[in-house]
Amino acid sequence: MLEVRNLTKIYDGGVLALDNVSFSVEQGEFLAVIGLSGSGKSTLLRCINRLVEPTEGQILWNGVDITAASQDELLRIRRKIGMVFQHFNLVTRSKVITNVLAGRLGYVNTGRSMVNRFPKSDIDMALKQMDRVDITDQAYKRADELSGGQQQRVGIARAMVQEPEMILADEPVASLDPVLAHSIMQHLDQINKEDGATVLCSLHFLDLVHQYADRAIALNDGLLMFDGAPEAIDDEKFKEIYGKEAERVG
């Protein structure tokens, strides 16, 4: 259970990115976050694992206040939250398997990980998760030799080896073509259904929201505009979320 209470973020320079946002997510739910570019979706997701430090408000996850966690506690919270990015954010010069194993960093001994020595069980787990997203063949290639869709699957495998209880996906399919987009969304769906991880996924296309999400929230200019089932987004709601000139495209 994730509870966001009165979350506000003001960046240095006075930009108000999130304005008193409150919502909650059940464990195992697939929540879509929609809204225009710049509406605060990325900031919201990054506040949850405190890659961005919230200005005000609380984020309670299974009863623990993430916003009040000390540095050490935060590392232990983060290792249970996988994150998937729009631009994949792989270390392109490293091997695929190294990128995936990076997901284990929160669990392994610092000294051993410095010299790239991971326990056998971790390597097995990495290979297993890579098999689930079908990139085992690429394990020992450099990450920048892979295509976009493959790179995003590496990103998902990296999140999966964290044995996450929650996945934060920041527009995971925005840089991919529609066919690849569906395959990536299916992988996220798989983590959600098979592993029982909560998924918070920001999306641009409403058909993807309809197809994969249990529930959707919408942001506009940092304000929470909508919280409910995807089917409840009718034309009126749509215009409220995306502005009056917006047209639905698929």
Per CB under 8 A, residues contacting other proteins are 49, 51, 70-72, 75-83, 85, 87-94, 98, 102-107, 110, 113-114, 155, 158, 162, 168
CA-based torsion, 109, 88, 231, 239: positive or negative: positive
Q: Which of 80, 158, 150, 79 is nearest to 125 (CA)?
A: 158
d(CA 202, CA 214): 13
The torsion angle over the Cα atoms of residues 74, 79, 81 and 87, rounded to 10 degrees, is 100
Nearer to other proteins, 63 or 111 (CB): 111
- Of all helices (H) and strands (E), which one includes residue 194? helix 178-194
Nearer to other proteins, 103 or 230 (CB): 103
Nearer to other proteins, 113 or 220 (CB): 113
CB of 242 to other proteins, least distance (A): 27
CB of 220 to other proteins, least distance (A): 25
Integer CA distances (angstroms), 81 to 28, 165, 167, 200, in order: 13, 6, 6, 11
- φ, ψ (nearest 5 deg) of residue 8: -130, 135
CB of 210 to other proteins, least distance (A): 28
CB of 91 to other proteins, least distance (A): 4
Other C-beta atoms closer than 10 Å to the C-beta of 230 total 19
Nearer to other proteins, 6 or 92 (CB): 92
CB of 141 to other proteins, least distance (A): 14
Nearer to other proteins, 105 or 180 (CB): 105
Calculate ∠ Cα 21-246-250, nearest 5°.
95
CB of 50 to other proteins, least distance (A): 10
Nearer to other proteins, 135 or 233 (CB): 135
